[in-house]
């Protein structure tokens, strides 16, 4: 499996009246063809901002650091250096939708309320795949059927507000997939849904990702959801990836105290009678990022004199795993 997207040293700052704030620092990850990477962390951890940078959808006040590298391998095998693209260029418009699709927590962020679902899907299909309008409509109907909407030939002519929340979510997935992307970025797509619909949409996304052989980045604050959908996981805290690796291994043996805290907060059958133990304290604001390890203000294992003063580097405690924590960096501790 080749890398579809590789992000290296992504650092994003925003110009504000109070000066420059940097909500994402030195983030590196990769997504492989046919696999799902889960990006997990509390709100404010920088998950959405990082993926918006990949889509070049950041506002004008954003500054991407010059040593950031974002490489995407297009469907025709061409290597695209995303960080060098002009956000208004034709190349980035081709990339958005046709190569990389995106779905959000709120479907109305994708749909315009004044056009039918079909109009919007047909436009996306004609832009990226099939210029013939009749053919494009057939592809759209087939896609609505594929995501489990009953009577798709009628639904296609409905407006977004005529559908229930769960149906709209399915229609948004169909819209994102209608241009045939090789990579799908799903930003908290199930968070606003009730538990039953959430499970159905997760099943659907897992099935589509497998059947279409897409790569996927699935953003959530819920490590339990990641366990169900993602083969690989990257745990973010205050704009930094603190741990990454294959999901099954990270869940079996979490190395970072923050990952351990997130896992302890998941209710599970054998913990039904136990009290859930959420990570104590609140995530600090990016304008008040602590010195040293960003997690030291909440970490029960913090090493006095070291964690609050020195930022841990990313090390590989085992092949395929990565963690940023002094507890696992004996060589770094001795040198500090
Ligand atoms: Fe805790 Fe220190 Fe590890 Fe940070 S580096 S997670 S403060 S032990």
Ligand 1 mutation pick, 327, 328, 329, max ligand atoms within 8 A of CB:
327
| 30-55 tens-digit pLDDT | 999 999 999 999 888 999 999 999 99
Q: Concatenated DSSP letters for 41-56?
A: --TTSSHHHHHHHHTT
Instruction: Write down the pLDDT at residue 270.
Output: 53
pLDDT of residue 88 exceeding 50, the answer is yes
Residues 35 and 232: their CA atoms lie apart, in Å, by 8
% of the chain beyond a pLDDT of 70: 96
Looking at domain 3-243, which of 1.10.3720.10, 2.40.40.20, 3.20.20.10, 3.40.50.300 is its CATH number?
3.40.50.300
pLDDT of residue 109 exceeding 80, the answer is no
Residues 5 and 182: their CA atoms lie apart, in Å, by 10
pLDDT of residue 292 exceeding 70, the answer is yes
10 Å CB burial of residue 109 (0-12, 13-18, 19+) is exposed
- What is the CA angle 206-207-212, rounded to 5? 105
| 224-259 tens-digit pLDDT | 899 999 999 999 999 999 999 999 999 999 999 999
Report whether 42 contacts 240 (CB < 8 A).
Answer: no
Instruction: Write down the pLDDT at residue 1.
Output: 60
pLDDT of residue 110 exceeding 60, the answer is yes
Average pLDDT over residues 112-130: 90
| Closest by CA position to 228, among listed 240, 218, 243 | 218
Between 109-123, 142-156, 261-275, 305-319, the lowest mean confidence (pLDDT) is in 261-275
- In terms of phi and psi (left: phi > 0; alpha: psi -120 to 50; beta: otherwise), the region of 58 is beta
| 256-275 tens-digit pLDDT | 999 999 988 776 645 444 44
Report CA(155)–ligand 1 centroid distance (Å): 52
| Closest by CA position to 231, among listed 213, 249, 255 | 249
Residues 282 and 222: their CA atoms lie apart, in Å, by 16
pLDDT of residue 173 exceeding 70, the answer is yes
Structural domain spans, the chain:
3-243, 254-335
Ligand 1 mutation pick, 324, 325, 332, 333, max ligand atoms within 8 A of CB:
325
Report CA(301)–ligand 1 centroid distance (Å): 6
Instruction: Write down the pLDDT at residue 163.
Output: 92
Instruction: Write down the pLDDT at residue 272.
Output: 44
Which residue ranges have their beta carbon within 6 Å of ligand 1? 256-257, 293, 295-296, 299, 301-303, 307, 312, 325-327
The length of the chain, given as a count of residues = 336
Which band of pLDDT confidence, cut at 50, 70 and 90, is reported for residue 105?
confident
Report CA(280)–ligand 1 centroid distance (Å): 14
| Closest by CA position to 241, among listed 187, 322, 333, 319 | 322
Higher-confidence position of 97 and 302? 302
pLDDT of residue 318 exceeding 90, the answer is yes
pLDDT of residue 196 exceeding 90, the answer is no
Instruction: Write down the pLDDT at residue 283.
Output: 86
pLDDT of residue 5 exceeding 70, the answer is yes
Instruction: Write down the pLDDT at residue 274.
Output: 47
Report CA(303)–ligand 1 centroid distance (Å): 7
Report CA(243)–ligand 1 centroid distance (Å): 12
Instruction: Write down the pLDDT at residue 278.
Output: 64
Instruction: Write down the pLDDT at residue 118.
Output: 95
pLDDT of residue 138 exceeding 60, the answer is yes
Instruction: Write down the pLDDT at residue 119.
Output: 94
- Count Cβ atoms below 10 Å from residue 150 Cβ, excluding itself: 9
**The overall pTM is greater than 0.85:** yes
pLDDT of residue 179 exceeding 80, the answer is yes
């Amino acid at each position: 499996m080749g890398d579809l997207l590789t992000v290296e040293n992504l650092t994003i700052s925003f110009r504000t009246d109070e000066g420059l704030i940097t909500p994402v620092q030195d983030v590196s990850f990769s997504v492989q063809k046919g696999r799902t990477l889960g990006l997990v962390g509390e709100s404010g951890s920088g998950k959405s901002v990082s993926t918006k940078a990949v889509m070049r959808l950041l506002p004008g006040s954003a500054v991407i650091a010059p040593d950031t590298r974002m490489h995407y391998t297009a469907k025709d095998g061409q290597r695209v250096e995303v960080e060098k693209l002009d956000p208004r260029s034709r190349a980035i418009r081709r990339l958005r939708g046709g190569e990389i699709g995106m779905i959000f927590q709120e479907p109305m962020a994708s749909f315009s309320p004044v056009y039918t679902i079909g109009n919007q899907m047909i436009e996306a299909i004609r832009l990226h795949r099939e210029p013939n309008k009749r053919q494009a409509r057939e592809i759209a109907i087939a896609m609505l059927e594929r995501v489990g909407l009953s009577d798709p030939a009628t639904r296609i002519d409905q407006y977004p507000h005529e559908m229930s929340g769960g149906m709209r979510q399915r229609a948004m997935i169909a819209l994102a997939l209608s241009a045939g992307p090789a990579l799908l970025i799903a930003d908290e797509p199930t968070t606003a849904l009730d538990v039953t619909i959430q499970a159905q949409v997760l099943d659907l996304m897992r099935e589509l990702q497998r059947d279409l052989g897409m790569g996927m980045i699935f953003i959530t604050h819920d490590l339990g959801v990641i366990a169900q959908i993602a083969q690989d996981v990257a745990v973010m805290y205050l704009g930094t990836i603190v741990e990454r690796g294959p999901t099954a291994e990270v869940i079996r043996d979490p190395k970072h105290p923050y990952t351990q805290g997130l896992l302890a907060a998941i209710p599970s059958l054998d913990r039904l009678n136990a009290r859930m133990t959420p990570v104590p304290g609140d995530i600090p604001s990016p304008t008040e990022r602590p010195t040293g390890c960003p997690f030291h203000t909440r970490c029960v294992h913090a090493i006095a004199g070291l964690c609050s003063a020195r930022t841990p580097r990313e090390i590989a405690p085992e092949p395929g795993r990565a963690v940023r924590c002094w507890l696992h960096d004996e060589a770094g501790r001795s040198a500090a």
